[in-house]
Amino acid sequence: MTTQFFENVIIKFLFTDVEVRDKIFPFLSARIFDDIQNIGIIKKYVHYNQKFGSFPTISEMKVEIEDVDTFNHLIEIKDLDITEFKQEFLLSEIEDFFKKKLIHNVIVDTAELLSKDELEKVFNSPDDLREALAFSFDTKIGLDILNDEERIYADLHNKDKVISTGITILDRFTKGGFHEKSLSLFMAETNLGKSLIMCSLATNSLLQNKNVLYVTLEMSELKIAERIMANLFDKDINDISNIEKEPFMALFGNWKKKIENKFVVKEFPTRSINTNHIRNLLKELKVKKKFIPDIIYVDYISIMLSCMSNKNDNSYIEIKRISEELRGLAVELGIPFISAVQTNRGGFGSVEIDLTDIADSIGTTATADLIIGVTQPKEIRDLNKFIWMILKNRYGLNKKKMSVLVDYFKMRVNDDPDDANIKDMPMSPEKQKNESISKAVEITNNLLNKDNKEKFKKIIDFE
């Protein structure tokens, strides 16, 4: 399709399609066009709108346009047959046409300013170019509560916007699990199991057929993979390395049939990356592996760098910035980010911790959407459990405590059936059905046993 074709289609839409015209007109400029006659038509069109506050008809344009050939050209454009193309396709192509023209104009203007040595004005060029690159016909701004009911309903019932944690009671307290555009943090003392928890939850995400990216700044890619395999294959982590090659490959083959999506682990040295590195990694994965994550785990936030590091910054400012930048990336990508932070000395060995026990920067607590404190008193450790306390929760109640089972050999956390919250939960319809069936079977067996006992007694009495 030629430039002339797009120019003609744009002008045709201005006179024949109100919906498309309303999308195009806010960005309409004679500088978008190359054809002399089209430039003349657009100038007259815009002038009429500025003068009368409405859009001209073909008849009114005949009065505005003095040149007969230009008006005849307008008539030809109006009668242009574009029925072979879908409107969505044409709008998409026109949007690209506009974007390229806007970018071209910025570059030309910048070159002209440079030739005139007007450097001060050149400083605006990056903003102009960024605006051109972000150009879109989508004129929606924000959410119109009373007029976007379809969008609101769809969002409220879109389960893909929340990824289950795999822990029943945590899902209950967080309205489904990890939400889009959010940053969730697990807070625990050193060597308590932050990586174990994240590996387990990451495996749960994979089992939901989500694309998972695990960024590790502490452990190697293979060590993380080993933990994932122990969990996924239901094997003791100490036995993974002893599996022979054939059964080892068979395990992978079986799971590949069940899971359609991917799990990618990327290792970086400690304190070597910021969110821009993650952005670049995502671009590389998209191009080279056709991989776009649904959820990202970062192990962990306290050993990242800020994009705006300054020698004079203390740990409070730096960690606060990192958390803000990471959450900003979550919003930008529209997916959940999961990471961890350490407790300070006051939180070491504590039975309960709160937000003031966070190490380095209390500012992180203001940024995160969900913060879960992890503790393990001796009596709980002996039972192979963690105590989780919801310290901050944008999706439900705070100060909710729960216990979860931890399997150190299979690198897994599970629901604790003895947890009081689990016992208080209403039974699902499926579970109610299973319970009813079990009770019916039990009653039937009891009756049969009773009948058999009576028969047996009669036989004895007879004898």
Residue 154 lies in a domain: no
Residue 319 lies in a domain: yes
Q: Assess contact for 405 and 381: CB atoms under 8 A.
A: no
Which tokens is 248 given?
A: 């080892």
Residue 50 lies in a domain: yes
- The DSSP line for 97-117 is HHHHHHHHHHHHHHHHHHHTT
Question: Are 190 and 302 in the same domain?
Answer: yes
Which SS3 state, helix, strand or coil, does residue 265 take?
Answer: strand
Which tokens is 78 given?
A: 């109006």
At 354 the pLDDT is 85
Question: Are 124 and 178 in the same domain?
Answer: no
Residue 440 lies in a domain: no
DSSP 428: P
Give the β-pairing of 295-299 and 212-216: parallel
Question: Are 110 and 174 in the same domain?
Answer: no
Pairwise CA distance, residues 44 & 36, whole Å: 13
Q: Assess contact for 274 and 307: CB atoms under 8 A.
A: yes
| Domain span at 225 | 159-424
Residue 411 lies in a domain: yes
Question: Are 18 and 120 in the same domain?
Answer: yes
Q: Assess contact for 401 and 387: CB atoms under 8 A.
A: yes
Residue 361 phi/psi, 5-degree rounding, is -150, 115
CATH of the domain at 328: 3.40.50.300
At 234 the pLDDT is 92
For CA atoms 319, 323, 324, 328, give the dihedral sign. positive
Question: Are 129 and 174 in the same domain?
Answer: no
Question: Are 341 and 377 in the same domain?
Answer: yes
Range 390-395 contact pairs with CB under 8 angstroms and sequence separation of 24 or more: 390/173, 390/174, 391/187, 391/353, 391/354, 391/355, 391/365, 392/355, 392/365, 392/368, 393/173, 393/174, 393/369, 394/179, 394/182, 394/369, 394/370, 395/174, 395/175, 395/176, 395/179, 395/369, 395/370
Question: Are 299 and 415 in the same domain?
Answer: yes
Residue 385 phi/psi, 5-degree rounding, is -135, 160
Question: Are 94 and 165 in the same domain?
Answer: no
Pairwise CA distance, residues 172 & 461, whole Å: 59
- The DSSP line for 188-231 is E-TTSSHHHHHHHHHHHHHHTT--EEEEESSS-HHHHHHHHHHH
Which SS3 state, helix, strand or coil, does residue 392 take?
Answer: strand
At 85 the pLDDT is 87
Question: Are 166 and 128 in the same domain?
Answer: no
Pairwise CA distance, residues 411 & 202, whole Å: 11
Q: Assess contact for 279 and 293: CB atoms under 8 A.
A: no
* Cβ partners under 8 Å of residue 193, min gap 6: 374, 376, 386, 406
Total number of domains in the chain: 2
Pairwise CA distance, residues 284 & 334, whole Å: 18
For CA atoms 245, 251, 257, 261, give the dihedral sign. negative
Q: Where are the alpha helices (DSSP H) in 234-339?
A: 245-258, 275-289, 315-333
Residue 362 lies in a domain: yes
Question: Are 127 and 163 in the same domain?
Answer: no
In a structure prediction context, what are the per-residue pLDDT tens digits for the chain, which is 463 residues long? 788 999 999 999 999 988 888 888 888 889 889 999 999 999 999 999 999 989 999 999 999 998 999 999 999 999 989 888 888 888 888 888 888 888 998 899 899 888 888 877 777 787 778 777 777 776 566 777 877 788 778 777 776 689 999 999 999 999 999 999 999 999 999 888 999 999 999 999 999 999 999 999 999 999 999 999 999 999 999 999 899 999 999 999 998 888 889 999 999 999 899 999 999 999 999 999 999 999 999 998 989 988 876 666 677 788 888 999 999 999 999 999 999 999 887 767 677 888 888 877 787 888 999 999 999 989 999 999 999 999 999 999 898 999 999 999 999 999 999 888 776 655 555 555 555 666 666 666 666 665 655 655 555 555 4
DSSP 161: G
DSSP 304: S
Which tokens is 20 given?
A: 């498309």
Closest by Cα among 207, 333, 210 to 281: 333
Which SS3 state, helix, strand or coil, does residue 312 take?
Answer: coil
Residue 147 lies in a domain: no
Per the rule left: phi > 0, alpha: psi between -120 and 50, beta: everything else, 89 is alpha
Residue 447 lies in a domain: no
Question: Are 181 and 123 in the same domain?
Answer: no
Q: Assess contact for 296 and 339: CB atoms under 8 A.
A: no
Residue with tokens 């993380």: 224
Q: Assess contact for 194 and 340: CB atoms under 8 A.
A: yes
- Largest alpha-carbon pair distance within the chain? 125
> Which pTM was predicted?
0.67
Cα Rg for the chain, rounded, in angstroms?
32
CATH of the domain at 42: 1.10.860
Q: Which amino acid is at 442?
A: E
Question: Are 184 and 296 in the same domain?
Answer: yes
Which SS3 state, helix, strand or coil, does residue 444 take?
Answer: helix
Domain ends where: 99, 133, 167?
A: 133
Pairwise CA distance, residues 172 & 176, whole Å: 6
